Structure formats: structure tokens, C-alpha cells
Chains A and B, each alone.
Chain A
């Protein structure tokens, strides 16, 4: 019985040796300079943390390292030699494994089949199942999870278990560098400790880890060095993870080069009666005990990271998800839970987070997308009045300065910003009293952003209440009258926007916990 060699740490791994060095890496996409001069140096056996706000270029950087994208210029040195990975398989073979936030496992294959997916041990075309199971067991043992049977279906594992399988896959490739994209985001609090134990085991064997997280406390606990990205550039490299003051880290991430233009808040308080009242709304695992109000003419902003429960909260208020407990009232009347129709009937409208998949009929003309929620109102005896619809859509297109202007063009031919105008414009028709905006400026260029801000402010001036969710803190602070900060499904702070600054909010959403006066 010839046994394959145990999966072990690369014998020639020298702790402290630089394994990866990026110099002036640039990557542009049409219209966007996603990476604009990135420097990064990773040593064997260290946990190197990448820090940056949404859109700072972390995801693009990971994809360059994983062989998904090729850099336009700059060099990537891997173990002393300049490399360009043609595809993800090449990066894998070189020893760089990436664990994405959405774990890329096949749910209906076993643990062992997932760990060796694409490079199953074979003999004469047949998979050596016993051998594969044995090696998987060894790898799992090395990760401290010998209790997971290799034959178990991945579907039946909890999120933490799936993450272990992803790491087992990385080790099955004999990875020397493992990139983890927000690994703690899918884990419950107590599971994070186990993740850290595994990471320490890996680094003790000389494997380098690039760790991406928004949570400063984690970076302090597990990280060795920190590199900060902002707008596609490295703004600070190789800071000590434990000792660098939070203030320094945060200021390297902010201080943006792009200035947003926000409309002025009205000088006098013009807000009216309470429009939306949410009481103790809860959905287990998403958010709990959230209470908030929005008054007519008021813009309320919710700041929070992806995974803080903000989008789920918005969808639950809108009836797209059913609350487990708590109530949503519009103008004093309780809404039927889990019914979008009831919410729309009560005067709510929503621009959801994923424009393309949740809001638009991409192949349909612009005007039909604008009237998607209201076409029934223009109809007589069930017959649509397309002339009237186009006229109404034309009016919206004029007032939103939609480009191109022809409302019969398919909506997919529009830019992101103009698509968003179509989605917002949909709720300008009819009698929308409360507009829910989920990441309204994602993928929207700077010019269109300013226009959208104007539209939102003008709506509020007309007496429409707005509840805005954004992971861009300046946007929430600049646009909203009142701000709620969410972290891990709870509202941790509520204050008028002018009493908060970007650093305070960032600190709150990241649980840096250095700020005083914030309720836990």
C-alpha cells in the first residue's frame, strides 16, 4: 500500500522570507481605475491584513492575486520571481489559494470531493476514493477538525464547517499563501475564535495569510501587519497590526480625494408627522429589536457594513421579508407582514440593493421600467395606456435628466447611474410617501451621484420620507438628517447627522470600540 505523502508545510518555507511583493500594480476597467498603484509585501508565516472601505480596491486586488484579473502594469513577484497568472488554476498551482466570501463549494458533493475538486487523485481515470478520503482526513486533522467526516455532504454543514472545507481545499493544493476575504462575516461570534486557531496553525507551518476584514478588533487580535488601501492606492504599508492607533488606521482609509456634493439641508425644520413607525422588528440571524421612525420630509440614514442586517431590515420593512416579531406602521396603520403589496398600497416604494437582479427588466424599454409599479393606474378596464405611460415616463426622464433620453430604448443600454434614476423615478409616479433606498449610488459615477442626491433632497422637501441605507459613510452623513448606525443586526447609535463625523461612525460600524459613549 503506497501512501501518498502527507500534506505538509512546504519544506523550504522560511518564516519571515518575503513570498509576495506587489509594486505599483494598476488595473483599470472601462471608466474605473480600480487599482491605481498598489504596494504590498507579504512574508511567509505572517497574517497580513488588508484594510479599506468598500470600493477601495480590495476585491480587485484579490482577483489579481487569484489569477482572475491580469494587472495592466506593475509587477507581482511570487517567491522572488515576477509572475502573471493566466487563470485561477495557474495561481492555485503556484500555491496561492483564495477563500472568497461566498464560499465556492458544491453543496451536493462530499467534503472530500470538494476539497479535491478539479484535482482529484486518479489512477487510470478512476478517482481513488479511499486515498482521497484519507488525505482529506489528514488535512482536516491538521486544521483541527478531524471530527468532520470526509464523506459528509457539504450541504449539511454549517457555515463554519463549510469554511473549514474551503481551507482544506486550499491545503490540498499545498498552498503557501491563503487569501481570506472577510472570513468572519459568515461566522457566529464564538466560531471566530476557532477560525483564529486554524489561522495560527497555518502560519506556524510557514503559510502566509492575507486577511481581509472590516472589524478592527479582529485585525488587532490575529494580524501581524496591516496594509491600508484607499481609492485603489496603498496609503500605508506594513503598519504593526497591534499597536497602530485606530485613529491612524481610519484616517488612512478616509480623507477621500473625491468630494461629494450634497444638497444643503433646509434651514428650518420642515419635517412633518411621523410617517413610518417600526417597533422591535426582529428576524433571527439578520437583525433584532430594531425600532425607528421616519417623519414626512425627513431623510433618515442607516450606516452599517455589509452583513450588519441593514438591507435585510429595509426589505422587511417593505414586506419583501416577513418579520418574526415586531410591527411596521405607516401613518399609524399596521401593515400586513410579508406583503409588498400592502407596503406599496400604503405608499412605500423601494430602490433595492441589486439594481439589475432586483429592480429592472433589462430587456424592456425604459418607460415600462419606470411604470412597472404604476402601469395599472393608467390602464382602463385592464387595457394599458402606453401613450400615457410614455408621457409620464418622459416627464420623469426630463425631471431626472435621463440620458439617453428616448424612453423606448431598452433599460440595459443605460449606464448604472441612469438605471438608478429609472428605479428611483418609478416611485416618483403615483403617490409614494416613503422611499426606501438601499445603496442608491452603488456603481453610479460621481456626476450622477450628485444628481441623485439632489433628487432625494427635493423629494424630502416635497414631504416624502426617505430611509436610506449605504455603506458609504460620507453619503449617509451628507444626505441624511438623522443617522442610525447598525452593527451585527442592532442599532448601536442614533443621532442627528450633524452631531456625527465619519471617523466616529466608521469606528462604530467596525466595533473599534475606542469611542466612548456608544451603547454596546
Chain B
């Protein structure tokens, strides 16, 4: 791995191969050390930003929005907020509310950063939920049910991926078709009936808590943590950003763009499988109409979280905050006894506002590019 490098300085270039010594591994390690600790010139990067200062700033903005929502809640229902126990319980309620969509959104975030879109997530959750609650599957117990849900989700995601990568279908079309087809299959399997889950372990996932925190919240935390590591610390995550940010550059750098795209949809499907188990546990049942419009919630949360719809940029933390903001709004309206209709209107407004903010930033970015192009 260690080899000599050519140098640009003309006076050194002529006798270069003799002069520049092979890089000493120890030296390299030392240099890495120095850089990893921020060096003298650069600013220190926050641990949660994923080396992306812009994303970190955006996430701070989202936390600000969240705080504003909490303050609004505290003002409108100061009676409730004066009770610390209630505040804690309510926070857990919000997180529980966010958990299922949150898991789906993690997968969706990967797909969108990778330059795609997955409209079929809600339908995959329904199909996986229905499949794992058939009488035949329930006979295998909780392990069989979980395995079935994850396998079905992964498999459907892979079908999406194959259609998009190798069938060259536009992601919008392929996953729209899957949305329709998967719900159809779910209705076929369940015979349009609600399938009750008799498995106490599965049902317990939603009702049980550990150290006072619902298991669902642990699952969300685990998926978010895994997603964050995957995106920011692995080659898979790096490829995702490359493939979404500039597929041609990724391809010409030797990255297998098609295979990676396929894996992204598989990952999204897998997240849907996990969400199916969680949702089935919550309802103690599954049916073909479950997880309705989850695709819109997940896309909206990712977009609000700063994921660029055209790909190449986004953070898991941002998406998580997007989901939590949404469930906080729902909660805010609920504790004030307001209608879901008003709630939806506010949510719509927030999506538009988030995209407008993104556009302003994007425009200044393209203007910057335009200026650069003129100089060349």
C-alpha cells in the first residue's frame, strides 16, 4: 500500500522516484492521529454530525423547532406541563408514536440519499405484517413470525431494487407499482380479514417496558444507531452518498452503482419488516390496510430532516428529528383537543416550509456553481 508519490513541485519532480521515500506506516498513522484530532487549521467536527458540518447546523435548527413545539405545548397546557411525571410519560408517548414510522424513515433516508425514492414502504409493512400473522406462520412462534416479517420485507425490497437497477425502471414508477401490488397481495393473503396475533411475545413488544422505557423506543433507538453507523462509518454508507450525489462519478470510480442501488431498496424493505413486527405488536393484529400512507410520513420526515430529494445529502439524526417533530405536532394537537384535520393542514405547511428553506440554500449553491463555471 505504501508507495512513492509524484510531486508537483518542479524542482523536486525530476529526481522524484529516488528522492521520495516510501511512506512509513508509523508516520502515516501519526499523521492520521493528527488529522483525526482536528489539526491546527480545521475546526473540530461534532461527533454526531457524521463529518458533515452543514448537516449538524441543520439538525440544531430542527432541535430548535422541536423546542418551540414543546414550549407551545407548555403554554397551551400549562396545567399538564406543571406535572413532571406527566411530561415524562408524554415524552415516551411521543417517542412510541414515532417508533414505527421512525424505523421506516431510516430505510427511506438511505434510499433518498442514494438518489431514489420508495413509495412502497407502507404496503411492504402491511404485506410483512399480514404474512407473519397467518395461522401457519404463527405456529412457528415468535421467532418464526419475526423471521417471516423480515424476510418478506427484504425480499420485496430486493424486487424493487432489481426492477430499478437492472430493469431500469424509474424508482417512482417501480415502487408505485409495488405499492399497489403488495397491498393487493396482503389483501389476498388475509382474505381482507384482520388477523389477530395470539403470540404473547410479539404483543409484548408493544406493551412491555424495560427500565420504564417502552421496548418500541429501544427498537427505534437501535435501528437509528445502526443506521447512523452504517451511513457514517461504513463503506456502504460512503457508497450511498457517492451513488446519490453523482452516480456517474461513482461509476467511473469503480463503484458498482447498480448493485448498490439494489441493496438500498433491500435495506428499506428490511426496515419495513422490522416496522411490521412493531406495528403488529401494537395492534395485536395485522391487516392489509395497515401502515396506510406511511410512505408519505417517511418521505416528509426525511425531507424535513434535511435529506436532499435529489440525493447525495442527508442525515439519520435529521430524519429522526423529522419523525419526532411530526409526532410531537400530533401530540400537541391531541393534548389540546384539536381535530386531526387542523393537524394535517399544519403538517402540510411544515413540509412546504422545510422544502422552501432547502430550495433557498440549493439556489445559492447552484449560483455558486454557475459563477465558478464562468471563470473556467
Q: Given A364-B245, A395-B28, do A406 and B252 touch, yes or no (CB 8 Å)?
A: no
> B367 at interface (Cβ–Cβ under 8 A)?
no
Chain A: which residue is nearest B254 at the CB level?
A344
> B256 at interface (Cβ–Cβ under 8 A)?
yes
A29 touches B375 (CB 8 A): yes
**Which residues of A, 30-46, contact B by the 8 Å Cβ criterion?**
30-32
A320 touches B252 (CB 8 A): yes
Contact string, A416-444, partner B, CB cutoff 8 A, digits 1/0? 10000100001010010000000000110
Q: Chain B residues near A407 (CB, 8 Å)?
A: 35
B7 touches A32 (CB 8 A): no
A359 touches B235 (CB 8 A): no
> A23 at interface (Cβ–Cβ under 8 A)?
no
> A268 at interface (Cβ–Cβ under 8 A)?
no
Q: Chain B residues near A383 (CB, 8 Å)?
A: 233-235
B242 touches A372 (CB 8 A): yes
The answer, among A362, A390, A399, A405, for a CB contact under 8 Å with B5, is: A399
> B32 at interface (Cβ–Cβ under 8 A)?
yes
A263 touches B13 (CB 8 A): yes
B253 touches A387 (CB 8 A): no
Q: Given A340-B251, A364-B245, do A30 and B375 touch, yes or no (CB 8 Å)?
A: yes
A388 touches B28 (CB 8 A): yes
Q: Chain B residues near A261 (CB, 8 Å)?
A: 10
**In the complex, how many residues of chain A place their beta carbon closer than 8 angstroms to a beta carbon of chain B?**
70
Q: Chain B residues near A376 (CB, 8 Å)?
A: 235
A377 touches B1 (CB 8 A): yes
The answer, among B4, B17, B29, B41, for a CB contact under 8 Å with A406, is: B41
B13 touches A361 (CB 8 A): no
B7 touches A399 (CB 8 A): yes
A459 to B20, CA, bound (A): 13
Q: How many A-B residue pairs have CB under 8 A?
A: 168
A264 to B255, CA, bound (A): 36
A382 touches B235 (CB 8 A): yes
Q: Given A405-B41, A458-B6, A461-B16, do A373 and B238 touch, yes or no (CB 8 Å)?
A: no
The answer, among B36, B41, B252, B372, for a CB contact under 8 Å with A359, is: B252
A29 to B10, CA, bound (A): 29
**Which residues of A, 347-382, contact B by the 8 Å Cβ criterion?**
350, 352, 356-365, 368, 372-373, 375-377, 379, 382
A400 touches B28 (CB 8 A): no
A405 to B371, CA, bound (A): 22
> B51 at interface (Cβ–Cβ under 8 A)?
yes
B236 to chain A, nearest CB (A): 6
A458 touches B375 (CB 8 A): no
> A341 at interface (Cβ–Cβ under 8 A)?
yes
Chain A: which residue is nearest B43 at the CB level?
A408
Contact string, A381-393, partner B, CB cutoff 8 A, digits 1/0? 0111011101110
A395 touches B23 (CB 8 A): yes
Chain B: which residue is nearest A343 at the CB level?
B254
A412 to B368, CA, bound (A): 9
> B356 at interface (Cβ–Cβ under 8 A)?
no
A344 to chain B, nearest CB (A): 3
Q: How large is the interface on B (under 10, 10 to 19, 20 to 34, 35 or more residues)?
A: 35 or more
A423 to chain B, nearest CB (A): 9
B8 touches A421 (CB 8 A): yes
Q: Chain B residues near A390 (CB, 8 Å)?
A: 32, 35-36
A382 touches B31 (CB 8 A): no
**Which residues of B, 333-376, contact A by the 8 Å Cβ criterion?**
365, 368-369, 371-372, 374-376
A361 touches B249 (CB 8 A): yes
Chain A: which residue is nearest B31 at the CB level?
A391
A395 touches B5 (CB 8 A): yes
A373 to B256, CA, bound (A): 11
A455 touches B8 (CB 8 A): yes
A363 touches B41 (CB 8 A): no
Q: Given A395-B5, A401-B8, A428-B5, do A368 and B246 touch, yes or no (CB 8 Å)?
A: no
A384 touches B28 (CB 8 A): no
A338 to B59, CA, bound (A): 42
A394 to B45, CA, bound (A): 17
A29 touches B374 (CB 8 A): yes
A462 touches B42 (CB 8 A): no
A320 to chain B, nearest CB (A): 6
Q: Given A361-B312, A428-B6, A450-B10, do A375 and B238 touch, yes or no (CB 8 Å)?
A: yes
B252 touches A340 (CB 8 A): yes
A375 to B235, CA, bound (A): 7
Known: A391-B32, A443-B376. 15 other contacts (CB 8 A): A29-B375, A264-B14, A362-B245, A364-B241, A372-B242, A373-B253, A375-B238, A379-B235, A384-B234, A388-B32, A391-B29, A399-B20, A426-B253, A428-B6, A458-B16
Can you give 30 A-B contacts (C-beta < 8 A)?
A30-B371, A30-B374, A345-B254, A357-B249, A359-B249, A360-B246, A361-B245, A361-B312, A362-B245, A362-B369, A379-B235, A382-B235, A384-B238, A391-B31, A391-B32, A396-B5, A399-B20, A405-B41, A407-B35, A408-B42, A408-B51, A416-B372, A428-B5, A431-B3, A442-B376, A450-B10, A454-B7, A459-B6, A461-B16, A462-B6
- The 4 residue pairs across chains A and B that have the minimum distance between CB atoms: A458-B6, A443-B376, A344-B254, A391-B32
